[in-house]
Amino acid sequence: MDYRPKYAQPFTLTEARLLDVQTIAEEIARLQNSLQHLHDTQTMLKEAMESDPDPELTKALEENRTVICSGSQTERIAILKLALSDKGVIMSEHYDPPKNTGPAATPPAAPEPPENDEDGVEL
């Protein structure tokens, strides 16, 4: 039995099953990142609209809303997760979108570079 998507997709579940696990995982991450950026942009656009109601901002806000609300990318992620599951990959939070991210989130501090000894190699 094959999954029947609600939205037009660039691939079927059968085609997704033919991909290797790493490719599927990378595509899930790419799509989740794309959705996160759309949500972050929506927040920024709404804040900008409060101080400057601009027709271009309104248009961008509506375009983002259409992509987010259509559910097409979310459905694509679901298809890819089904393909992973069919390959025996145990689904975990690793494949879920990151939580508590957004423009207000503070990125983690960069780690301090290690101190090298005289020949430039740390042991």
Render pLDDT for 1-20 as a digit per residue (tens, 0 to 9).
Answer: 567 889 899 999 999 999 99
Residue 66 belongs to domain with CATH number: 1.20.58
Question: 35: exposed, middle or buried (C-beta count within 10 Å: 0-12, 13-18, 19+)?
Answer: middle
| In a domain? residue 20 | yes
81 domain residue, yes or no: yes
- Binning the chain into helix, strand and coil, the percentages to the nearest 5 are 55, 0, 45
Domain membership of residue 61 (yes or no) is yes
Which one, of 90, 91, 75, 70, lies nearest residue 3 by Cα?
75
User: What would you measure as the largest C-alpha separation in the chain, in angstroms?
Assistant: 63
- Domain interval for residue 29: 13-89
* Residue at 107 is within a domain: no
pLDDT (tens digit, 0 to 9) for every residue of the chain, 123 residues total? 567 889 899 999 999 999 999 999 999 999 999 999 999 999 999 999 898 889 999 999 999 888 888 889 999 999 999 999 999 988 766 556 555 444 444 333 333 434 444 444 444
